[in-house]
């Protein structure tokens, strides 16, 4: 099975964006305050958005299933406030839930959290619980910088975040560490803030004892781990110097996806980072949607790059494409096991 | 010749740090305001610091010459103000000048600029001019984030920075884009802020038309270019999408050093980025000072990694170790040409 751990509903109907705009425009005026029910999107609209978007490319590229979450750049936790963020997360997660119900073979949900700058992340627990327990989601996206490029919340290893981690551990769901858009003019969103967020989070984990406190807590660092694999020697050295311990045990809790948009980069990732820590991901129809004029292929068709890695054995490919993501997201594994039981019973 | 483009005087006598501390402690009290002459460091102290530090390792590793600048992490433009930053830059640059006079065969100067958060960089012009025209320095270090991790100045491509660039062009000196320490608890200095600064600056250059306005302006992005080479496909795609132009012409003005602290990373750099754009650098006795327990060698001995790159031809090595840095830093080339003329005359 080919499972893409990193998909966002970037092709969502424009009605969604219009609702959000209206929500923010009216956030200080109760007279025009929006309700969730003010957003009307039909099943046909969702079908069209998916069938002509992520599902089309999933099939064309030989994929089977995508862990699917709301648009990362649109989480925009720096806009609005705690209340608008909660409603916005509910709306976006409900939409993902409908996608997963319409296409249960192809998409499994991962949720957006209702974060807000400098609001304790414990506030996200009810929505996380709702998504996992009621909507069947298997993970969440956690924004290490709800301020959108000004980095004003404490590091991810601070006790500030612990109540949320306790709930993640209880539910046995991992988080993908994923910033949203940047409102800092120094940082382009997908070209700087995304990659910096990945690198920053990894270094925070390196310095702290988070995984002593939460031995089963798991994070996926997307975009190939930011700068981390390329600077693996730097991080090995920093761990030895700053914490007098080897870096490698961090890999019990931290995983990287393959959203690196050229073949040499993906090959490098698979040669430097242990295979058990690599999850296939494409973030398709995301940061880079075009085709490479040198090859005629999509930049974000990362499966193609993995297929070209001649050094990977069949077992290693199986790990990257399926086994690792099922291990890191036990909820997904449960869905797939249940599915195969049902399939066997119907024979 | 083996020329290291990236060295800082990290082994400077502790008196220097004490002077800086006193300067900051007294910045609001004219009664205890320090003068440059309050810092007393003897030639013997400098000799000891260098002979037991950067010179010892330069020789041990087979190097010949290092472009040498003040300690990057101690520039700390976010501390003090414009006035203290200027005095601090003068003190640090004068010390580098003394190193270069004591060891003229081994070190050539690169200056610290007296930046301060949200102070127009034109304020740095007199010190840049002094260092180049009077002290014989051949480049400068430019901090893209004088706020130390809060990124409050405009992007490097903003006209805010243009007066400084005009002077760099007039003097024909490049800048290494180099942040200083971080006062944002989210960002570890050498583990996150450094690498993020590199990635951020590159993306700023990608989006703008700076090199249309300054065709001969040149920047070295250190630490192997941050995350950029690893994500080369992302940047190629972003350039095509965001600016409808190929990325590659940026390489007329942007160069990467080899401060990547493991062999696979350095090999990757030399396979993805054109050789003409790679400058040997080590930033030795810097972020990672220890030895890799797997090999017994220093993490920051990047020459060793290059030596192990069997795919590099003799001509390519010559470019990385000497020719490129002489092209990017014409002042260095002039120093070396003058030196060989003198050597020939003395035969």
pLDDT score at B219? 99
**Between A and B, how many residue pairs show a Cβ–Cβ distance under 8 A?**
205
Give the confidence band of B214 by pLDDT, cuts at 50, 70, 90: very high
Helix (H, G, I), strand (E, B), or coil: what is residue A100?
A: helix
Give the confidence band of B316 by pLDDT, cuts at 50, 70, 90: very high
Residue A184 CA to residue B128 CA, distance in Å, equals 29
Q: For the domain with range A3-345, which CATH number is right: 3.40.430.10, 3.90.480.20, 3.20.20.140, 3.40.50.720?
A: 3.20.20.140
Give CA A45 to chain center in angstroms: 24
pLDDT score at A1? 97
Taking CB atoms and an 8 Å limit, are B155 and A185 in contact across chains? yes
pLDDT tens, position by position, B44-87: 999 999 999 999 999 999 999 999 999 999 999 999 999 999 99
pLDDT score at B28? 81
Q: Which of B197, B233, B245, B270 to mutate to test the interface with A (most CBs of A within 10 A)?
A: B233
Query: CA of B260, closest CA in chain A: separation in Å?
Result: 6
pLDDT tens, position by position, B182-207: 999 999 999 999 999 999 999 999 99
Q: Does residue B30 register a pLDDT over 80?
A: no
- Take residue A40 and report the two structure tokens written for it: 């009307």
Instruction: Share the mean pLDDT of chain B.
Output: 97
Taking CB atoms and an 8 Å limit, are B190 and A238 in contact across chains? yes
pLDDT score at B113? 98
Query: CA of B36, closest CA in chain A: separation in Å?
Result: 34
Q: Does residue B32 register a pLDDT over 90?
A: no
Helix (H, G, I), strand (E, B), or coil: what is residue A40?
A: coil
Token look-up 């470019």 returns: B319
pLDDT score at B209? 98
Q: How many CB atoms within 10 Å of residue A176?
A: 25
**B contacts of A233 (beta carbons < 8 Å):** 260-263, 265, 288, 292, 299
The answer, for A271 touching chain B at a CB cutoff of 8 Å, is yes
pLDDT score at A96? 98
Task: Select the residue of B187, B230, B292 nearest A151 (Cβ to Cβ).
Answer: B187
The answer, for A101 touching chain B at a CB cutoff of 8 Å, is no
Task: Kindly report whether the global pTM for this prediction surpasses the value 0.95.
Answer: yes
| ipTM score | 0.98
The domain limits of chain A are 3-345
Contacts of residue B297, Cβ cutoff 8 Å, sequence gap at least 6: B291, B304
pLDDT score at A30? 78
Taking CB atoms and an 8 Å limit, are A227 and B232 in contact across chains? no
* A270: closest chain B residue by CA: B264
Task: Select the residue of A238, A293, A299 nearest B233 (Cβ to Cβ).
Answer: A299
The answer, for A230 touching chain B at a CB cutoff of 8 Å, is yes
Query: Could you write out the DSSP letters of every residue in A125-185?
Result: HHHHHIIIIIT---EEEE-S-TTSSS--SPPTTSGGGHHHHHHHHHHT--EEE------ST
Bridge partners (DSSP) of residue B3 are B65
List, for chain A, all residue ranges whose pLDDT scores fall below the cut of 50. Answer: none
């Amino acid at each position: 099975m080919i499972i893409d751990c990193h998909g966002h509903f970037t092709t969502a109907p424009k009605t969604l964006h219009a609702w959000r705009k209206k929500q923010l425009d009216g956030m200080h005026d109760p007279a025009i305050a929006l309700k969730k029910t003010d957003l009307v999107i039909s099943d046909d609209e969702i079908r069209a958005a998916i069938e002509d978007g992520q599902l089309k490319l999933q099939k064309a590229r030989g994929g089977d299933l995508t862990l699917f979450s709301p648009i990362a750049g649109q989480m925009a936790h720096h806009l609005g406030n705690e209340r608008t963020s909660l409603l916005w997360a509910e709306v976006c997660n409900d939409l993902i839930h409908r996608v997963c119900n319409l296409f249960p073979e192809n998409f499994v949900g991962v949720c957006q959290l209702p974060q807000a700058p400098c609001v304790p992340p414990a506030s996200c627990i009810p929505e996380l619980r709702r998504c996992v327990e009621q909507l069947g989601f298997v993970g969440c996206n956690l924004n290490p910088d709800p301020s959108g490029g000004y980095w004003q919340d404490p590091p991810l290893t601070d006790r500030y975040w612990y109540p949320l981690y306790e709930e993640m551990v209880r539910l046995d769901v991992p988080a993908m560490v994923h910033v949203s858009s940047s409102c800092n003019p120094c940082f382009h969103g997908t070209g700087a803030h995304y990659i910096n967020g990945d690198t920053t989070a990894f270094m925070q984990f390196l310095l702290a004892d988070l995984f002593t406190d939460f031995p089963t807590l798991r994070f996926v660092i997307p975009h190939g781990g930011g700068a981390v694999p390329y600077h693996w020697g730097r991080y090995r050295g920093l761990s030895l110097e700053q914490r007098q311990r080897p870096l490698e045990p961090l890999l019990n809790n931290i995983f990287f996806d393959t959203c690196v948009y050229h073949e040499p980069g993906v090959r490098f990732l698979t040669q430097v980072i242990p295979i058990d820590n690599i999850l296939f991901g494409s973030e398709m129809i995301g940061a880079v949607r075009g085709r490479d004029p040198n090859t005629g292929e999509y930049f974000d068709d990362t499966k193609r790059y993995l297929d070209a890695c001649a050094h990977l054995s069949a077992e290693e490919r199986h790990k990257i494409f399926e086994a690792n993501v099922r291990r890191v997201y036990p909820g997904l594994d449960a869905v797939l096991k249940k599915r195969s039981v049902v399939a066997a019973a119907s024979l």
